[in-house]
Structure 1
């Protein structure tokens, strides 16, 4: 039981790190290449879906199409694909465009609070004492990361705030909707089909053969990184952690995303870290120890 929990924690952390590094890479694409978010969504989700389903056909060929023969599960799959997986990634890009990668991450962390609220309403499950402590520490660490210690100087536009709230809500749905699917089907298959569904939807909105951005080596490498690591592997790892963790715990571990986004911004966009950002990063990292070692007594 403990080993499964630790496995889930590592999966959630790896997925969050891949997703976080995607932020500064995407920010560079939007600022330097004028790439359209809708075009990038169709391409990256389509490529990710093909990659994951292709791999599933090799590893689990008899199980790949089972979900399509179950109407109830198929409906949940489409809800996950469109309201969760596609929505969270699309609003993530739009919020980056309206602000920047680090600021976007703090807005996404509001999804953790929404997960706790929705879990309480839908499942009558209150957060444990460890989860409540981790929420406070994770949000404080995230805030320090994106404000550089100037706690009252997070300057964002109204549109960025609005998009960030949509991002947080879709992030909560992305964590909660597929839980029952992962209890019946392999994570690889569920995420792969959801990616393909989302990729087709965004290709209809913005066909990838129209208004194609300039494709040089850096652009192609960035898009492939986003598709394979920032999308396919990030979601397989993070959503796969739901087999071993509660949605609340997985959501808390998603706070490793701002740490990765901030470090990625330093490496790719040539910014620097101050002492408060380092403290914030250490606070974010500390949540993994709290969730691993603390007793899971519920708060009634």
Structure 2
């Protein structure tokens, strides 16, 4: 298997695991487990996996000072914890495919944050893409004459998840004196602690013990924490070592499509024509932005090489 095949395989596996996340969340919710317990399971299991991975690869990542711990606590609670809770909440109230598409608006928020906080230029292309996304959100939310035809709570939770997911990406840039992996592992730990404070473990364990299919419940708990969070994120990042970031982003855009397919076969969820068009608009907007960002990264690399060559000569 050559590098290109490795990269494509890794990102496709990651995309499939992301695609089943909504399915696992819905199955656990229908089994009687609370939003908080599902979010805790996801955060706690991924924390354990990430910690083991760090112990094997680079233990220096665990070094941190009190200021770093405070930053990590803010990072974990303000982004991971609320993002996990928001996604599970959206899956409870609206179709899985819609929840996934709304989460996919994160690249738009990243663009807005870049303009607001990092002095990036706002041009007509970015404005058009954001407008395209807004139209897509209105269509996929099945909104008509100013009224939602599905749960406003679910829609708000889905959009909030996209916002917080984007902030997960932006947050470490404010604290570049700390390694991203360091903030990540402690962020997960603090997220687990925070969610755990609001989780009824006794009730949750009783529900699991009395479940009609306890094996299926446990399997989906492991799936949402290990497959859909730790492995998918790790594989996605690893794939960029073998293929271009633009290719990775385009392949990852299949996530909402896979979620819709899985939701159709397992729960019989069907989107109407307007919602399908809206979902396509959001995906196209995300791809356009990712391609633009990738082009900017490449240009920056060439500029850096040119400057270095001039300095050497």
**TM (normalized to structure 1)?**
0.72
**For the Cα contact (< 8 Å) 2:22–2:259, is it kept in 1?**
yes
User: 2:93·2:153 contact (CA, 8 Å) conserved in 1?
Assistant: yes
Deviation of 1:128 (Å): 7.4
Instruction: Report the Cα distance in structure 1 between the residues aligned to 2:240 and 2:171, rounded to whole angstroms.
Output: 11
Confirm or deny that 1:88 pairs with 2:86. Answer: no
- Tell whether 2:160 aligns with 1:161: no
Partner of 1:246: none
Aligned pairs for 1:1-300 (under 5 A) are 15=14, 17-30=16-29, 32-61=30-59, 63-66=60-63, 68-69=64-65, 71-126=66-121, 146=140, 155-179=149-173, 184-185=178-179, 187=181, 189-212=182-205, 213-215=207-209, 216-237=214-235, 255-271=253-269, 277=276, 284=283, 287=287, 291=291, 295-296=295-296
Q: Give the number of aligned pairs.
A: 284
1:89-120 Cα shifts (integer Å, max 9, x gaps):
11011111121211212332343332222210
For residues 219 and 260 of structure 2, the distance between their equivalents in structure 1, rounded to whole angstroms, comes to 21
Residue deviations 1:200-235, cap 9 Å, x none? 222222153443223411111111110101122234
Structure number with greater Rg is: 2
- In the alignment, the residues of structure 1 paired with residue 103 and residue 123 of structure 2 have an alpha-carbon distance, to the nearest angstrom, of 22
Shift of the 192–13 alpha-carbon distance from structure 1 to 2, 3 Å rule, reads farther
- Kindly provide the CA deviation profile for residues 233-283 of structure 1, in whole angstroms up to 9, marking residues without a partner as x: 23445678999xxxxx99998644322321221343245688985996699
Q: 1:151 Cα deviation (Å)?
A: 8.3
Quick one: structure 1 residues 122 and 13, their matched pair in 2 at CA, closer, same or farther if it must change by over 3 Å? farther
Contact 1:21-1:261 within 8 A present in 2 as well: yes
Shift in CA distance, 16/162, structure 1 to aligned 2, threshold 3 Å: same
Gapped regions of structure 1 (runs ≥ 5): 244-248
Q: TM-score, normalised by structure 2?
A: 0.69
Which whole-Å CA distance do the structure 1 matches of 2:233 and 2:67 have between them?
Answer: 23
Give 3-state SS (helix, strand or coil) of 1:177's partner.
helix
For 1:127 and 1:287, the matched residues in 2 are separated by 18
